[in-house]
Amino acid sequence: MKQLSPVPPDVLAVEARDLRKEFVRKDRRHGRRRVAALADVSLEVVRGECVAILGQNGSGKSTLVRLLSTLLLPDGGEARVFGYDVVRRDKDVRRLVNRVSVEASFFKKMSPSENLHYAARFYGMTPSETGERIPEILERVGFPPDRRGEPMENLSRGMQQKVALARALLTSPVLLLLDEPTTGLDPRSKLEVQEFVREMRAAHDSTILLCTHDLAEAESLAGRVGILDRGELLALESADELKARYGASTLEEAFFAATGRGFSDEDDELDAEERKVLA
């Protein structure tokens, strides 16, 4: 695999300018119309930073992650990952990025260990590297040793989520995109995963963009927190600055003040067609 040149330390990890993505919605009154899942979002993430994006289902969090990981093409604006344009230099971006999401895909007939060994070969890792690395990572994300040989299709969603995180961390990515990474995990495993995320930043200088429903997780892991609502990035600053801006004592109160809605309320704006595209 071709090696990229070292990334200069002063280059932004993520730079988005007026990033836009639209989907077609079926409307009983107006027929089909285009609706922005992301509406001219601009943000910057510095190398080594952890930034959390808070938002309800349908707010555009997953769309943002998919655009930055080159899985979707933008309809407007631009985005760069360590200076590489996500459209024109998509192959280079993929070598720097790894993504964890709630709908991670696997070879269902293969075991967790087999899936990880396959991913390791894809990234050019040697058998000697993976022989030690894979058991170590599975242990750190709380995956039980006696389940590592079972087919993925026999595992719960929470178990599969642990394997997804282990696969992403296997290659020590420069940019880690986490889309609801602890969804479906028990409290102990959630804490283990969060601690491992901290270690990734400390040991590997990884930059992390975390999209989450967990307000405590965002405040604990991230230096800055963004509020994304119906495709618009309303704010992006430290948790304390957000609370001060909206005169709130908690992040949940700040979110309500910014959006006019409770954080746990569902946003059902996406129709079935949009959900299929975003899945």
> For 161-171, how does the pLDDT look when each residue is reduced to its tens digit (9 = 90+)?
888 888 887 87
- Count of domains in the chain? 1
What is the rounded distance in angstroms from the CA atom of residue 119 to the CA atom of residue 106? 10
pLDDT number for residue 273: 39
Residue 203 lies in a domain: yes
Question: At CB < 8 A and 24+ separation, what contacts does 132-137 make?
Answer: 133/170, 134/166, 134/170, 137/166, 137/169, 137/170
Residue 261 or residue 17, greater confidence: 17
Sign of the CA dihedral with 259 first, then 261, 264, and 265 last: negative
> For residue 3, what are the contacts with CB-CB under 8 A and spacing of at least 6?
none
The answer to whether 86 and 68 have CB atoms below 8 angstroms apart is yes
Domain extent, residue 97, equals 14-104+174-278
Residue 84 lies in a domain: yes
pLDDT tens string 22-64: 987 776 776 677 888 999 999 999 999 999 999 888 889 999 9
Kindly provide the b/e burial profile for residues 160-181, where b requires at least 16 CB atoms within 10 angstroms of the residue's own CB. bbbbbbbbbbbbebbbbbbbbb
Residue 149 lies in a domain: no
Mean pLDDT over the full length of the chain:
84
What is the rounded distance in angstroms from the CA atom of residue 222 to the CA atom of residue 51? 5
What is the rounded distance in angstroms from the CA atom of residue 171 to the CA atom of residue 100? 13
The answer to whether 19 and 77 have CB atoms below 8 angstroms apart is yes
CA 63 to chain centre: 10
Residue 212 — pLDDT band, cuts 50, 70, 90? confident
pLDDT tens string 64-81: 999 999 999 999 999 999
Residue 162 lies in a domain: no
Instruction: Provide the 8-state DSSP code for 252.
Output: H
Give the predicted TM-score (pTM) of the model.
0.82
pLDDT tens string 139-181: 877 788 999 999 999 988 778 888 888 888 787 678 999 988 8
CA angle 3, 106, 64 (to 5 degrees): 65
Residue 117 lies in a domain: no
The answer to whether 79 and 68 have CB atoms below 8 angstroms apart is yes
Instruction: Provide the 8-state DSSP code for 147.
Output: G
- Tokens coding 242: 């957000």
pLDDT number for residue 268: 46
What is the rounded distance in angstroms from the CA atom of residue 111 to the CA atom of residue 154? 9
Phi-psi region of 141 (alpha: psi -120 to 50; beta: other; left: phi over 0): alpha
pLDDT number for residue 203: 73
- Tokens coding 4: 């990229």
Residue 209 lies in a domain: yes
Residue 10 or residue 249, greater confidence: 249
Instruction: Provide the 8-state DSSP code for 255.
Output: H
pLDDT number for residue 65: 94
Which of 223, 229, 214 minimizes the C-alpha distance to 179?
214
Residue 113 lies in a domain: no
Query: In degrees rounded to 5, what are phi and psi of residue 227?
Result: -115, 115
CATH number at residue 89: 3.40.50.300
The answer to whether 243 and 249 have CB atoms below 8 angstroms apart is yes
Residue 27 lies in a domain: yes
